[in-house]
Chain A
Amino acid sequence: MLLAVACQKSFIQKEPYGVLTEQQILTPKNVEGLIISAYSILNGQMDEASNAYNSPASNWSFGSVTSDDMYKGGGGTGDQNSINQMELFTVTPDTFDIGRKWLALYEGVRRANVALHALSLVKGMAPGLKAERIGEMKFLRGHFYFELKIIYNRIPYYDENTVGIKDYYVSNTKYSSAELWGKIEGDFKAAFAALPSTQADPGRPTKWAAEAYLCKTYIYQKKWSQAITAADLVINNGGYRLLKNFSATFLPQNDNGPDVIFAIQYSINDGSPKNYNGSIGDRLIPPGGPRYPRYGFERPSQNLVNAFKTDSITGLPITGNSLVRPGDYVDPRLDVTVARPGIPYKDLGILYEKSWARDAAVYGPFEAKKRVLSANSPYYLASWPYVSASNYIFIRYADVLLWKAEALIETGDLEGGRALINVIRNRAKNSNYVQNLAGTGNAAHYKIGLYTKPFTSFTQAINALRLERRLEFAAEGQRFFDLVRWGIAAPVLNSYFASESKLRGYLTGAHFVKGKNEYMPIPQSEIDLGHGLITQNPGY
């Protein structure tokens, strides 16, 4: 009894196992660990749950399914019903994915801030390295706020000086839109100033990556001349080039290749208990068929397939949503992007068939292909959760080229724009085309040509640019955000719903409300828990 009294104080003092205290974290080595964890959240995997597909890094749901490019897919409209609501624009502040994406992006903001705060306190770190690491964290914070801005628009903003829980009760209307953009720009400018031209670790952004992202923020604000300057800096100094083959960009062998400006680094079979370091947010995308698990989400629309239709002579796009029929000429990028019946699927040595398509009665015969890895690839995990080590690219060189082209056209230099569009088309033209099973020839009628004649009007030029972006970046999570920043989301999507619903009955009733659906609602949980400081977006 006496013994118990004597040691009571130490007896009820239990230190946790396997953790670093607030002091122990502040060594140069351990602060690096905080930085790594800020990168780790790029993939949208924020907890131990297996549903990072509700907060995907690739924005397949937030940027492609919400556009005229893709349907949700899966086993009927009720399967991941939240994404169905996103597709039909019937979302509410309670829609599940809207809350999950918000949580994942703010987790990124918080981790970057935690690392920045630790970097301000750490002792014994080489000053040059410390400055670089601060630049990296500002780059990441810029990235997360950029995503938040384009998805939710009116967002609470806080920085590394936010420490206590009470400091997280922040208004989302404190800053104007321009002020928020200014803060995002500020982070990329600081990153540009601090980061080196090359990085030993390909996962870390270079100064050119920061400049490219700055260019992207200018593009989204229609700051065209600043965008041109930024793009030129990247083009002239970054040492980037397009790969010879369009399809090669999406192979894991070319992860961090010369056309990659910033990408999320995926890894499989690395000892992670559930392989959550792979392409976890995209794990529902693989098609069906004999070699894949048939989750069958993110399904190309007929409208997207039609957009690839080309003139048999000029190889230029045939616009107007003209149905692609067997024998028609198409852009060769189509069969890299979309799985169509009768075309070989990757290097599996078999033809893709309609029977692979999950719930074809609802979602049609096409399946995802561009960012799906061959089931034969050693970089593909053939067991649950069926992820791959093939990186998702946030910014690739083609993006910078087309941003510059867009800025040039917007500022009146139609010819400058045409030249850059042709760079993109020329690469596609000179790529290896998908071959038939025997390997004796093209799998379909491919034809792609350059814009050989000068654009006659701004409208022609800008439409060509916008179509080129759609074809080049289909299934890369960008389309919806492009439509919104171009201000054409309402007409494009509503006419898409009108025509597409004749083929896909479930789209009946889908409607894009201008002035509302450009942005997702603020999650209800943020409003409920935000001490009354949060204002809902208009229309919700």
Chain B
Amino acid sequence: MKKHVQGFSVLFLFLIFTSAFQAFGQNIQISGKVTDASTGQTLPGVSILVKNTTVGTTTGLNGKYSLQAKIGSKLVFSYIGYQTQSVVVSNQKIIDVVMKPTATSLGQVIVTGYMTERKRDLTGAVSVVKVGKMISQPVSGIDKMLQGRAAGVDVISSGAPGGGVAVRIRGFSTIRNDDPLYIIDGVPTTSGINLLNPYDIKSIQILKDASAASIYGSRAANGVIIITTKQGNSRNPRISFNAYTGIQSVFHLPHMLSAKEYGEAYWQASENDGITHVTNAIYGSGPSPVIPAFINTDGKQTIPSANTDWLKVIFKPAVVQSYDLSVSQGTKKKRSFFALSYFNRQGILKYTNFKRITARINSDYMLFDKIKIGENLLAGFSGSTKTETNSELNSVVYDAYKMLSIAPVYDINGNFTGNPLSDIENPLGKLYRNRNNVQKTYSLFGNLYSQYELTNGLIAKTSLGLDVSVFNFDNFNPSFQEPDAQNAVSELNVTNRTNINWVWTNTLNYDKTFAGKNSLNVLLGTEAINNSMRFTTAYRNNFPLDNLNSQVLNFGNGNSQRNSGDKFENSLISYFGKVNYSFENKYLFSATLRRDGTSKLKNYKWGTFPAFSVGWRISQEGFFHSNFINNLKFRFGWGQTGNQSIPPYVTVASYSSNPYYSNYAITGSQNSVTQGYTLTGNPNPNLKWEITTQSDVGFDLGLMKNRITITADYFIKKTKNLLFNRSLPPVVGGTNVTMWDNVGSMENKGFEFNMNYKNDPSKNFKFSVMLNVSVLRNKLTSLRTGIDFIGINPAILHIVNFDQETSRTVVGEPIASFYGYTVIGIFQSQAAADADKAQPNAVAGDFKFKDLNHDGIINDKDKSIIGSPLPKFTYSLSFNSQYKNFDASVFFIGSQGNKIYDLSRYYTDFFDLSNYNKSERTLNAWTPENKNTNVPRLSMNDPNHNDRPSTYFIHNASYLILKTLQIGYTFPKRISMKIKIKRLRIYLEATNLFTITPYSGLSPEVGLQNYTSDNRNLDIGVDRGIYPPSRTFTFGVNFNL
């Protein structure tokens, strides 16, 4: 209130002062310049209107204007994001105006695709992530900035350092690739998110509905995330420095059987199978297992028996650290922002790591008052030491589940060793051998642009965007011999990959206010995009030494050399236009049309994507009087967006040579082959665009001086012509058993609710609360005749699921629903088992499965959908507060109703693979004495096939997680200025402090199996031993000079 009074009195004095010189009724020529109060920069596009007339203009690119007005008339200066100002014309010819940015978020400027808009004028569903708050916290990447921060935005990420991230906006609109389109400073990218330094980011906007996103046409079906990086904006150089360091640790490890317990379980399982004299190569033969001094089966005494907790062996507390330094400055003629950052996160899984170094230069220059040229450029490096997790085969976490406790980590000579009966590589040995295998990415990302003001309000802009990355991976696998697992000769695999993507965008933007009431903004543009990728791989083996300096190809055996390489390219050309019109800031209208042509399709290259939206700010109506409601806007939008996210060339018939399966030693040679050609695929020249049609209705409400703001949206999103690589009847052969096709339709309906509350800012104790709730219902609504369901490619099923089919996508059900048999109990007696003719091999203690079709036999037809990984609703709650120099924040996220398929139980709860360790759950296995259990009897043979996919594996994984808790202290200026620091803040933060969940695995946040595979959406929520999230305690400092 105090501020308002002050502002008013200044204006009042100004009026009195100017009125002394006024000479009424005379038309004079007035010119001047409009600048930003905080930066001193000129403001282009400010609308100037002579009050109560239709005379008006806008400022040019240089912020200058000129018009004629009568002395005594009033000039009204308005601009999005700034407080409107009025100036009475006296006899001065030059009127320069300094405009103050508005304080409320309604005036906030939103980048919505080739243009900016005021939040209050928006008619589409757009979420704004408050970055300002976030940069005072330790954030490792974009995923952490998005998770839980906006309704309708779901972030799934791996716990691994530098691991995969999947962002889902309003559910799953397609099957293959649901990643949103990222636009960083106008340059589209789907990769490279890991390489962005969070501290460089100025704003993040999420365009959720079609009316907002369809300006990006062909790739906008999954929503658009627009990221804008910082610019210099202060007259004096501003230096800021942010640093933090923390310690991460694993916080929930499952328990496996000890050496003694495993032996006893093995005996129990064997005896259950009717074996009277149980023998085991390690535990001996006799009435009960005996733990020997050494576990060798070759009679040597080199591997002492142990009682190893392998999960504890592979994890360790790990350090994370981040440093960010930036210098920025902005004047009328020139702005620049320069930043350097270093981020290093050691993994809690030993010998895993991610580090990132980035440098950014953003600058622009004003030439001849009309031309602006500039660039936003990021040069980055990332290095990542990764390991496979969440997979049935080759996953180090799962291997730690499976390695017997009796096996020691080291043999008597100090070498890595293991279980002589199993093929599993010592998990720690595997991590250690992989320690130097760094996956490196070098990246150059950004754009060069130039804009020119043709006339007042009409701006032409051209921008060339670049996304160049070079990937290098020298993967060395030394030779080793553990008792069973071995690698006889050392091997080096070298992979180099180059991606070069460019985009050339040209726009014309016309922004004009007519008669003070009609505000019109017209955009026209073209865009050309080209993406290319090439890779080469090379291999040699038998290296004389294992050290790092030996790991170059030339040092390996030349006779073993192998190589491969390929290239891909695709392109897109687009034309688009957008009109925004508002009348008296009350009635808002927006329409978009985009036409895209893609090289990926053949007979149907072009797609056209229309959208429109309307808004009504009822709170601006004369009849609307409320002191309680400050803002109320209703919005409705409808639009179409497209998707062509398929590999290139799937519409063209061709033949090619594949080194894995095309060639043959026809001459009888034993070390050379003749080249052969196979069909590259089953081409579908009639493939069409996938089209998503979305309707959105919502409102924005501001209450109590906008201290409470509420945004709610309901949407229906229907996708047709779903693009999918569908299975053909297997008689077409195993090399090309699929074909890209438009297979069906999908529907997402949802409700989003966002509420913010801020208390009275004049209070000493300031706080704000934000609540987000998202409800999503996804289902597949149709599939073309002849396709009963969408399954996972069997080759992938083999590697990641060990051939267990866990999920299917069928009509009427959500994507990636779990699929299997229904366990209805355990046969409690032999008589009960014998009585069940449907399961002829069952004995007491085995599962009884439900005979769904009542045909008296348990077979494939008794499988059904048994759960969904998608939650009923998700929510997040954050609380920020400040008291004097202290600040504190708390952030919760939650998910309700989601299920997990715990496939880790396939090995750990059943004795079919007897040489792998078992979960402590097996201690509770059914026996005639222990009937009150859900764990079936232990059996080596398992003739009832208890381990088949079933409800046994499905578990409720709802959760509420205290994601972050932070306490900060800002030093009083009088103290910090003594060391010439304007602002100095220190903080402590804890993440993942507690998790409330009924799920017993490592974490209910299971994530995807793979973040890049074509099947990533078909395999959600399956736990095979994931890279778990860590609990982190961080200390950090922010300061500005």
Instruction: Tell me the A residues contacting B by CB distance below 8 Å.
Output: 1, 4-5, 8, 11-22, 24-25, 30, 33-42, 45-49, 51, 54-55, 75-79, 81-82, 88, 90, 92-94, 96, 99-100, 102-104, 106-111, 114, 156, 158, 165, 168-170, 201-204, 252, 255-256, 265-274, 276-277, 288, 293-295, 353, 355, 358-362, 379, 382-384, 389, 505-506, 508-509, 523-526, 528-531
The answer on a CB contact under 8 Å between B914 and A20 is no
Give A20's nearest chain B residue, CB to CB: B655
- Shortest A539–chain B CB gap in Å is 11
Which are the 9 A-B pairs with shortest beta-carbon distances? A78-B912, A103-B734, A107-B733, A36-B676, A37-B676, A46-B734, A19-B654, A202-B668, A78-B913
The answer on a CB contact under 8 Å between A14 and B569 is yes
Known A-B contacts A92-B859, A156-B731, A294-B423; A267 and B672 likewise in contact (beta carbons under 8 Å): yes
The answer on a CB contact under 8 Å between A78 and B663 is no
Q: How far is the CA of A75 from the CA of B940 in the complex (A)?
A: 11
The answer on a CB contact under 8 Å between A201 and B668 is yes
- Shortest A107–chain B CB gap in Å is 3
Task: Name the A residues within 8 Å of B541 (CB-CB).
Answer: 383
Highest count of chain A CB atoms <10 Å: which of B421, B605, B676? B676
**Within the complex, which residue of B567, B679, B734 is in contact with A47, where a contact is CB–CB below 8 Å?**
B734
Highest count of chain A CB atoms <10 Å: which of B564, B653, B914? B914
Q: How far is the CA of A81 from the CA of B541 in the complex (A)?
A: 33
Q: Is B572 an interface residue (CB 8 A)?
A: yes
Task: Name the A residues within 8 Å of B913 (CB-CB).
Answer: 75-79
Known A-B contacts A16-B680, A267-B670, A277-B663; A508 and B273 likewise in contact (beta carbons under 8 Å): yes
Give A75's nearest chain B residue, CB to CB: B915
Q: How many residues of B contact A (CB 8 A)?
A: 114
The answer on a CB contact under 8 Å between A273 and B660 is yes
Known A-B contacts A46-B661, A362-B940; A165 and B732 likewise in contact (beta carbons under 8 Å): yes
Give A382's nearest chain B residue, CB to CB: B488
The answer on a CB contact under 8 Å between B860 and A106 is no
- Shortest B404–chain A CB gap in Å is 12
Per-residue A-contact encoding for B818-860, CB less than 8 Å = 1, 0 else: 0000000000000000000000010000000000000000011
Of B178-186, B318-326, B722-730, which binds chain A?
B722-730
- Shortest A311–chain B CB gap in Å is 33
Q: How far is the CA of A110 from the CA of B655 in the complex (A)?
A: 14
The answer on a CB contact under 8 Å between A529 and B729 is yes
Q: Is B581 an interface residue (CB 8 A)?
A: no
Q: How far is the CA of A79 from the CA of B526 in the complex (A)?
A: 57
What are 23 of the A-B contact pairs (CB < 8 Å)?
A: A4-B528, A12-B598, A12-B599, A14-B571, A18-B567, A20-B677, A37-B663, A78-B942, A90-B841, A103-B733, A103-B737, A106-B734, A107-B734, A158-B731, A165-B732, A267-B669, A268-B671, A270-B671, A277-B665, A358-B484, A362-B940, A525-B729, A526-B729
Task: Name the B residues within 8 Å of A111 (CB-CB).
Answer: 678, 733, 735
Task: Name the A residues within 8 Å of B669 (CB-CB).
Answer: 265, 267, 270
The answer on a CB contact under 8 Å between B654 and A16 is yes
The answer on a CB contact under 8 Å between A265 and B666 is yes
The answer on a CB contact under 8 Å between A8 and B573 is yes
Give B605's nearest chain A residue, CB to CB: A12
Of B437-445, B743-751, B787-795, which binds chain A?
B787-795
Known A-B contacts A12-B598, A267-B673; A203 and B668 likewise in contact (beta carbons under 8 Å): yes
The answer on a CB contact under 8 Å between B673 and A33 is no
Q: Is B929 an interface residue (CB 8 A)?
A: no
Q: How far is the CA of A101 from the CA of B597 in the complex (A)?
A: 42
Known A-B contacts A16-B648, A272-B663, A529-B727; A25 and B571 likewise in contact (beta carbons under 8 Å): no
Task: Name the A residues within 8 Å of B673 (CB-CB).
Answer: 267, 270-272, 277
The answer on a CB contact under 8 Å between A523 and B298 is no
CB contact list, B635-684 vs A, under 8 A: 648-649, 652-680, 682
**Within the complex, which residue of B491, B659, B914, B941 is in contact with A383, where a contact is CB–CB below 8 Å?**
B491
The answer on a CB contact under 8 Å between A106 and B666 is no
Task: Name the A residues within 8 Å of B568 (CB-CB).
Answer: 16-17
Q: How far is the CA of A396 from the CA of B815 in the complex (A)?
A: 52
Q: Is B539 an interface residue (CB 8 A)?
A: yes
Q: Is B560 an interface residue (CB 8 A)?
A: yes
The answer on a CB contact under 8 Å between B730 and A523 is yes
Per-residue A-contact encoding for B531-549, CB less than 8 Å = 1, 0 else: 0000001010100000000
**Within the complex, which residue of B599, B654, B657, B735 is in contact with A14, where a contact is CB–CB below 8 Å?**
B599
Task: Name the B residues within 8 Å of A13 (CB-CB).
Answer: 599
- Shortest A156–chain B CB gap in Å is 5
Task: Name the A residues within 8 Å of B799 (CB-CB).
Answer: 49
Give B739's nearest chain A residue, CB to CB: A165
- Shortest B450–chain A CB gap in Å is 13
Task: Name the A residues within 8 Å of B915 (CB-CB).
Answer: 75-76, 359
- Shortest B821–chain A CB gap in Å is 12
Q: How far is the CA of A405 from the CA of B915 in the complex (A)?
A: 46
- Shortest A490–chain B CB gap in Å is 17
Q: How far is the CA of A29 from the CA of B678 in the complex (A)?
A: 14
**Within the complex, which residue of B491, B597, B677 is in contact with A34, where a contact is CB–CB below 8 Å?**
B677
Give A272's nearest chain B residue, CB to CB: B659
Per-residue A-contact encoding for B933-951, CB less than 8 Å = 1, 0 else: 0000000111101010000
Give A296's nearest chain B residue, CB to CB: B423
- Shortest A181–chain B CB gap in Å is 19
**Within the complex, which residue of B566, B676, B912 is in contact with A18, where a contact is CB–CB below 8 Å?**
B566
Q: How far is the CA of A173 from the CA of B61 in the complex (A)?
A: 77
Give B528's nearest chain A residue, CB to CB: A4
Q: Is B275 an interface residue (CB 8 A)?
A: yes
Q: How far is the CA of A252 from the CA of B671 in the complex (A)?
A: 12
**Within the complex, which residue of B279, B653, B668 is in contact with A22, where a contact is CB–CB below 8 Å?**
B653
Task: Name the B residues within 8 Å of A77 (CB-CB).
Answer: 912-913, 940-942
Q: How far is the CA of A518 from the CA of B281 in the complex (A)?
A: 36
Q: How far is the CA of A288 from the CA of B544 in the complex (A)?
A: 25
The answer on a CB contact under 8 Å between A271 and B563 is yes
The answer on a CB contact under 8 Å between B670 and A379 is yes
The answer on a CB contact under 8 Å between A383 and B423 is no
- Shortest A286–chain B CB gap in Å is 11
Per-residue A-contact encoding for B432-465, CB less than 8 Å = 1, 0 else: 0000000000000000000000000000000000
Give A39's nearest chain B residue, CB to CB: B664
Task: Name the A residues within 8 Å of B298 (CB-CB).
Answer: 353, 355
Known A-B contacts A39-B666, A203-B667; A96 and B803 likewise in contact (beta carbons under 8 Å): yes
The answer on a CB contact under 8 Å between B914 and A106 is no
- Shortest A395–chain B CB gap in Å is 16
Q: How far is the CA of A158 from the CA of B348 in the complex (A)?
A: 56
The answer on a CB contact under 8 Å between B941 and A508 is yes
- Shortest A405–chain B CB gap in Å is 30
- Shortest A168–chain B CB gap in Å is 5
Q: Is B487 an interface residue (CB 8 A)?
A: yes
The answer on a CB contact under 8 Å between A12 and B562 is no
Give B300's nearest chain A residue, CB to CB: A355
The answer on a CB contact under 8 Å between A8 and B597 is yes
Task: Name the A residues within 8 Å of B571 (CB-CB).
Answer: 11-12, 14
- Shortest A529–chain B CB gap in Å is 4
The answer on a CB contact under 8 Å between A110 and B662 is no
- Shortest A536–chain B CB gap in Å is 10
The answer on a CB contact under 8 Å between A94 and B860 is yes
The answer on a CB contact under 8 Å between B664 and A21 is no
Per-residue A-contact encoding for B740-770, CB less than 8 Å = 1, 0 else: 0000000000000000000000000000000
Q: Is B280 an interface residue (CB 8 A)?
A: yes
Known A-B contacts A47-B795, A75-B913, A382-B489; A40 and B662 likewise in contact (beta carbons under 8 Å): yes
Q: How far is the CA of A273 from the CA of B559 in the complex (A)?
A: 13
**Within the complex, which residue of A21, A46, A168, A294 is in contact with B653, where a contact is CB–CB below 8 Å?**
A21
Highest count of chain B CB atoms <10 Å: which of A78, A265, A359, A523? A78
- Shortest A265–chain B CB gap in Å is 4
The answer on a CB contact under 8 Å between B506 and A1 is yes
Known A-B contacts A33-B676, A46-B661, A76-B940; A384 and B487 likewise in contact (beta carbons under 8 Å): yes
Other than A168-B729, A355-B297, give 10 A-B pairs with Cβ distance below 8 A: A14-B569, A20-B654, A33-B675, A37-B663, A165-B739, A265-B669, A270-B672, A271-B562, A273-B659, A506-B273
